[in-house]
């Protein structure tokens, strides 16, 4: 049975306002000052049910956010194997350029060349004309005409005279040794195109060296990666360089070229 109360002044325990209470309800927030046990029980159940519903909704939204964020991240960054699976399903092309290295390295080069042949055939044709061989070189330095050249920060390099291309661990294993994702194949393909452009410039007498030549080589790699539909993380990284090649983060190339002087 409901309890009837006369109007009175009181501090509301819910909104903390000092109010004139009529009909047992706070005029500011609606808090019930008086109700019978049955109504109170129903209110508690409804509030509990509403609270649990809100928790479930928030949890579901968080789960969806995590899923779609994760999906977007793996897709954009290239931590997927969709492209690799497509290449394998269509058939990996035989190595068209002599390749020397571990079995794993040779397979990665084969995937990269197949990717270029299928999705960027014009760049693939240029690669075949300018690259005579592809080798894996894990060492940190090389001897050139009695000089020691350090390869810190260099993913690959090419002999402009012979076209012999050497790929380092950072170029072949972007995600790390033992890891193989789409991004690794796209990146390696871009590295091969980059070095191919150096050979083209040499053959045409335009190998000016330094940042200017790297800009030209990276621009060519960017065009090839874009045509192949590379993960946005790779194309965006190149775009950043192409829009601001003088940023301090690219000083490493200048240091590399200074070793040849």
Task: Over range 45-60, report the average pLDDT.
Answer: 54
Residue 223, CA distances (Å) to 87, 109, 117, 119, 141 in order: 21, 19, 15, 12, 30
Q: What are phi and psi of 250, to 5 degrees?
A: -100, 15
pLDDT of 163-206, one tens digit each? Answer: 999 999 889 998 888 899 999 999 999 999 999 999 999 998 88
Give residue 83's pLDDT.
Answer: 93
Say how far apart CA 95 and CA 93 lie, in whole Å.
6
Summarised one tens digit per residue, pLDDT across range 23-35 is: 666 777 676 654 4
- Residue of 2, 29, 11 whose CA lies nearest to 20: 11
Task: Please report the pLDDT score of residue 16 as a whole number.
Answer: 67
Question: Pairing state of beta strands 147-150 and 156-158?
Answer: unpaired
The mean per-residue pLDDT over the stretch 118-133 comes to 96
Q: What pTM was estimated for this model as a whole?
A: 0.69
45 or 78: which leads in pLDDT:
78
Q: Tell me the C-alpha distance between 117 and 84, whole Å.
A: 14
The alpha carbons of the chain give a radius of gyration, in whole angstroms, of 33
């Amino acid at each position: 049975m409901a309890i009837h109360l006369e109007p009175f002044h009181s501090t509301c325990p819910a909104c903390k306002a000092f109010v004139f209470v009529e009909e047992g309800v706070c005029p500011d927030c609606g808090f019930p000052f008086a109700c019978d046990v049955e109504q109170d029980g129903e209110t508690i159940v409804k509030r509990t049910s509403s609270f649990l519903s809100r928790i479930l909704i928030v949890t579901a939204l968080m789960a969806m956010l995590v899923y779609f964020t994760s999906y977007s991240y793996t897709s954009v960054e290239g931590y997927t194997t969709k492209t690799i699976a497509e290449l394998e399903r269509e058939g990996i092309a035989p190595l068209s350029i002599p390749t020397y290295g571990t079995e794993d390295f040779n397979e990665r080069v084969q995937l990269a060349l197949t990717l270029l042949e299928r999705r960027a055939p014009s760049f693939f044709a240029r690669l075949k004309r300018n690259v005579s061989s592809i080798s894996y070189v894990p060492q940190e330095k090389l001897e050139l005409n009695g000089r020691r050249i350090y390869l810190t920060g260099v993913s690959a390099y090419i002999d402009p005279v012979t076209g012999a291309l050497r790929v380092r661990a950072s170029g072949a294993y972007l995600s790390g040794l033992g890891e193989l994702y789409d991004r690794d194949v796209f990146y390696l393909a871009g590295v091969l195109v980059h070095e191919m452009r150096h050979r083209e410039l040499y053959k045409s007498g335009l190998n000016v060296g330094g940042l200017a030549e790297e800009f030209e080589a990276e621009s060519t790699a960017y065009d090839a990666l874009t045509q192949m539909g590379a993960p946005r993380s790779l194309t965006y990284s190149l775009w950043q360089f192409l829009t601001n090649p003088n940023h301090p983060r690219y000083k490493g190339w200048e240091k590399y070229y200074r070793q040849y002087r």
